[in-house]
Chains A and B, each alone.
Chain A
Amino acid sequence: MQELLSKFSDSTLSRKLLDKVQEAAEEFIRLNGRRPAFMEVCGSHTMALAQKGVKRALKDHVNLISGPGCPVCVTDQKSIDAMIKLAEGENRIICTFGDMIRVPGTEFSLMEAKLEGKDIRVVYSPPDAVKIAEENPDKEVIFLGIGFETTIPVLGVAIKEAMDRGVRNFSMWMTTKLVEPILRTLLETKELNIDGFILPGHVSIVLGKNDYQYLVDEYQVPGVISSFETVGMLGSIYKLIRQLLEGRVEIENNYSAVVTDEGNIETKKLINTFFKPVDEPWRGIGVIPDSGMDIREEYDRFNARKRFNITVGEPGKTKCRCGEIIRGLVTPEECPLFAKACTPSKPIGPCMVSSEGTCSAHYLYMREDS
């Protein structure tokens, strides 16, 4: 497998493919007088494209726009503040994925709460939080359930495990997001001119290729499901440009080693067992109907929103442009705070905190002086 993986990062093949992408892009530019514009939906693609140098290598040929696929980045500030406020209560253990812990709240971050003595733990897997609840029966253990379709079924596994093991002091604060509603919103607001989407590889394990057909049927926008290695990502960009040049509009699967047409049926079943669609607020966008999943009423005892009364005020305003960055409207360099007041060691917005954030990717790999 390592040998196979190394082939997907092979520098000679990557270089040749880069030439092919540039050639195809030049043909597009000759015909259209502009670069093709593609949005990489997934935050992991944003980071991988920056880290492997693809964004820099293609900057004169392809307009690669970072999209809304970093879960922490798209979570609105009021939701962030509410999750941080949960930590204020007594006898609570807050469990979270690592990305959340340094996200600034209006007043403080989870990290700052931890330094003040609150019991906040980073876990790798949501069921780990169930285990912590079992080991601490006199405490309320709350997992902060952030994520897209890849993560939502794993949140379901945590509820299932808590039920199976009779754990009653475990609950989740859900602020999950779905890909289809946000792509529809981006396309319908017409703020952006996108020629195609580089579709998320691991979300697509759950969804499957067929679940993107609406992009073709309703919006006439092509998409290619992509892996995360250099060869795979360059190949996906090449496939998108070829579609434009040949006048085709299709969803193509360039990650068929793990993504099927129907997706993972078991994950879809578990999602529908425990969760239901819910309106979700997105940073810089507002509430999008049915754009997230919340716990079904019959499992209310695992719903932290129902178990704990948390109220927060309106968040403070900053000059952070994260809300526009996640919509692809501006680049990090257009934010007055970027690389000045806002850096990875002292982030102001979540796009600089997250390991999938656009600002973090630009700061680490795409600054002119980096």
Chain B
Amino acid sequence: MCVGVPAKVVERDDYTAVVDVMGSTMTVGIIFVPEVKVGEYVIVHAGQAMSIIDEENAMLSIEEWRKIADARAVE
């Protein structure tokens, strides 16, 4: 029930935003991420954007795992 889905903010006003969830658009609340900008990605839970996705951080994370996984090859 704590399921969250990533969604791209397409437009926003003071309290709501239109987001794109894998091609479908829906309106979500942004009271918990008031600073969110159009073009950013958020995690949506039960109709509310709960967190802005830090894409750079996500990329660093995947690189960290790639390095750990590939460490085997040079052992």
- Contacts A264-B32, A270-B31; A151 near B2 (Cβ below 8 A): yes
B14 touches A (CB below 8 Å): no
Chain A 65-76, CB within 8 Å of chain B: the 1/0 string? 000011110000
Q: Which residues of A contact B51 (CB under 8 A)?
A: 205, 258-259, 264
In this complex, the interface size class of chain A, counting residues with CB under 8 Å from chain B, is 35 or more
- How many chain B residues have a CB neighbour from A under 8 Å? 37
Q: For residue B57, which residue of chain A has the nearest CB?
A: A257
A98 CA to B28 CA in the complex, in Å? Answer: 19
A124 touches B (CB below 8 Å): yes
CB of A352 to closest CB in B, whole Å: 15
> Known contacts A8-B58, A231-B62; can you find 13 more A-B pairs with CB under 8 A?
A1-B41, A17-B68, A17-B69, A127-B29, A150-B45, A151-B1, A151-B46, A157-B29, A157-B31, A258-B43, A258-B51, A267-B32, A356-B3
Identify 27 residue pairs between A and B in the complex whose beta-carbon atoms are under 8 Å apart, listed by A's number: A1-B41, A2-B22, A8-B58, A16-B70, A16-B72, A20-B71, A43-B2, A97-B1, A124-B47, A125-B29, A146-B1, A147-B2, A148-B1, A150-B1, A151-B2, A151-B45, A201-B2, A201-B4, A254-B61, A257-B61, A258-B50, A258-B54, A266-B33, A266-B34, A354-B1, A356-B2, A356-B3
Q: Which residues of A are at the interface with B, using a C-beta cutoff of 8 A?
A: 1-2, 4-5, 7-8, 13, 16-17, 19-20, 42-44, 69-72, 97, 99, 124-128, 146-148, 150-151, 153-154, 157, 160, 200-203, 205-206, 231-232, 235, 238, 254, 256-259, 264, 266-267, 270, 354, 356
